[in-house]
Amino acid sequence: MNNILVYCEIENGRVADVSLELLTKGRGLAAQLGCKVEALAVGSKLSDVEKELMRYGAHIVHVADDERLDPFRTLPHAAIITGVIKTEQPQIVLFGATSVGRDLAPRVSSALKSGLTADCTSLEIGNHTDAKGNSYTNLLYQIRPAFGGNIIATIINPDHRPQMATVREGVMKKEPLPAPVQGDVKKVEVKKYLQDADFAVRIIERHIEDRKIDIKGASIVVAGGYGVGSKENFKQLFDLAAVLGAEVGASRAAVDAGFADNARQVGQTGVTVRPKLYIACGISGQIQHTAGMDQSAIVISINTDANAPINQLADYAIVGDMNEVIPKMMKSYRENSR
């Protein structure tokens, strides 16, 4: 049977959230297609990894365990995935759209000469009839924004298998099964797939540090002002931003109060942004601030004061306390995203 295969990313010995989200989504797609979900874990010291993957619905867990496979390097991981796909012949392969997945998946797709769609925001099963009248059933609709988020494209792979897609973290829901699947573990014969040349890139040093701030390049900005109240409370904005794939901006009053980094300041003496969505939380909307954001395509304001000047400019003016509104927005987003 041509199943759905999820490449499971391992971070510090744990399965990445995005992989569990993909397994959850994969379950739904598999039910529609009448097939099963398989997981592929590539790394080192992976004993017990199958327990968690089966809790998320993997019927077969392929484990490629070798000390040379951790930390992640493109070539050995690509060689193993390509090999497993050739043997197992899945109809769909899913990767997280992370630094790892976006580096790896294109390499695999090229090796298999099959198509890949990046950063999908929705995956569906559907049919297709092409211009010549050929019809296809049960294709994977790979739905993604393109053109800087100004269009939404539905991409299909009619004639090539597997159909491959990457999905960003937080887009799909993560839901364990009430009881784990009683699945099988298949050990991948790592040595069969690896050559010396796959280790051409050596890791000299690796460390995790804060990301550089880039609010200019963000297509969604969640900005906070003095009304956010504290640095601790700004964390809510970071949470909302993580869910939406946004960056966090701030007013000068918020920066001056030490709630946010200088690099996040929007306005006359800060950065000018033109995102497709700007969410202003606890920002009054003084001209020096709006000068840096009034070209945004859509503005939402969240402010306790119905007469705050920002509401003049907002497409949606929510009159309310951000402490109440932001958690509700996140909850609603999670519930409504597929």
Ligand X SMILES: Cc1cc2nc3c(=O)[nH]c(=O)nc-3n(C[C@H](O)[C@H](O)[C@H](O)COP(=O)(O)OP(=O)(O)OC[C@H]3O[C@@H](n4cnc5c(N)ncnc54)[C@H](O)[C@@H]3O)c2cc1C
> Which is nearer to ligand X, 175 or 321 (by Cβ)?
321
135 binds, among ligand X, other proteins, none (CB under 5 to 8 A by kind): none
Which residues lie below 8 Å from residue 255, measured CB to CB, with a gap of 6+? 261, 262, 264, 265, 270
Which residues lie below 8 Å from residue 232, measured CB to CB, with a gap of 6+? none
The residues that touch ligand X, with contacts defined as CB under 6 A, are: 225-227, 251-254, 265-270, 282-284, 286, 288-289, 292, 302-305, 308, 321-323
> What is the smallest separation between the CB atom of 30 and other proteins, expressed in angstroms?
22
What CA–CA distance (Å, rounded) separates 133 from 172? 34
Place of tokens 């995203």: 337
What CA–CA distance (Å, rounded) separates 278 from 40? 39
**Torsion angle of the four alpha carbons 307, 309, 312, 317, in this order, in degrees rounded to the nearest 10:** -60
> Which is nearer to ligand X, 122 or 268 (by Cβ)?
268
297 binds, among ligand X, other proteins, none (CB under 5 to 8 A by kind): other proteins
* DSSP characters over 256-307: HTTSS-GGGBBSTTSB----SEEEEES----HHHHTTTTT-SEEEEEES-TT
Question: Which of 140, 142, 100 lies closest to 2 in space, CA to CA?
Answer: 140
> Which is nearer to ligand X, 23 or 253 (by Cβ)?
253
> Which is nearer to other proteins, 45 or 333 (by Cβ)?
333
171 binds, among ligand X, other proteins, none (CB under 5 to 8 A by kind): other proteins
225 binds, among other proteins, ligand X, none (CB under 5 to 8 A by kind): ligand X
Taking CA atoms, 267 is separated from 40, 112, 236, in Å, by 47, 48, 22
> What is the smallest separation between the CB atom of 183 and other proteins, expressed in angstroms?
30
> Which is nearer to ligand X, 85 or 322 (by Cβ)?
322
44 binds, among other proteins, ligand X, none (CB under 5 to 8 A by kind): none
> What is the smallest separation between the CB atom of 213 and ligand X, expressed in angstroms?
15
> What is the smallest separation between the CB atom of 108 and other proteins, expressed in angstroms?
8
Element (H, E) at 74: helix 74-88
> What is the smallest separation between the CB atom of 264 and other proteins, expressed in angstroms?
16
What CA–CA distance (Å, rounded) separates 303 from 301? 6
> What is the smallest separation between the CB atom of 47 and other proteins, expressed in angstroms?
26
226 binds, among ligand X, other proteins, none (CB under 5 to 8 A by kind): ligand X
34 binds, among other proteins, ligand X, none (CB under 5 to 8 A by kind): none
132 binds, among other proteins, ligand X, none (CB under 5 to 8 A by kind): none
Element (H, E) at 277: strand 277-281
> What is the smallest separation between the CB atom of 251 and ligand X, expressed in angstroms?
3
> Which is nearer to ligand X, 136 or 238 (by Cβ)?
238
> Which is nearer to ligand X, 43 or 227 (by Cβ)?
227
What CA–CA distance (Å, rounded) separates 104 from 98? 10
> Which is nearer to ligand X, 23 or 266 (by Cβ)?
266
> What is the smallest separation between the CB atom of 237 and ligand X, expressed in angstroms?
11
Taking CA atoms, 262 is separated from 25, 165, 270, 285, in Å, by 39, 37, 8, 18
Q: Say if residues 135 and 129 touch (Cβ distance below 8 Å).
A: yes
What CA–CA distance (Å, rounded) separates 118 from 200? 26
